[in-house]
Amino acid sequence: MGATALPILFFTILWGVVGIVLPFFVPKGPNRGVVQVVLMLTGACCWLFWLCCYMCQMNPLIGPIIKRDVALVMQQEWGTGPIVTPGA
């Protein structure tokens, strides 16, 4: 399974709206600049965190750890190669 463009595009648009569009709609006040920066940082950080999590699923560094007995049963049931007898 590879990365598809739809989730990347959807979340890029979502966090782009939060970080780029919403700061223009902050009402005027003494803390307007702070709220705008918070929205921009929130959008950038959430998008980057999501992207890292999504991309780590494409090529995980650590795979599932399967016991030998379970691997032998899987091999026998799925027919993915010669049956290896335990202790051989």
| pLDDT tens readout for residues 31-53 | 999 999 999 999 999 999 999 99
74, containing H or E segment: helix 68-78
Q: What is the pLDDT of residue 24?
A: 96
Q: What is the dihedral of CA 53, 56, 60, 66, to 10 degrees?
A: 10
Residues 14-39, mean pLDDT to the nearest whole number: 96
User: Given pLDDT bands bounded at 50, 70 and 90, which one contains residue 5?
Assistant: confident
Q: Would the pTM count as exceeding 0.75?
A: no
46 vs 3: CA distance, rounded Å: 19
| pLDDT tens readout for residues 57-81 | 887 788 778 898 888 888 888 876 6
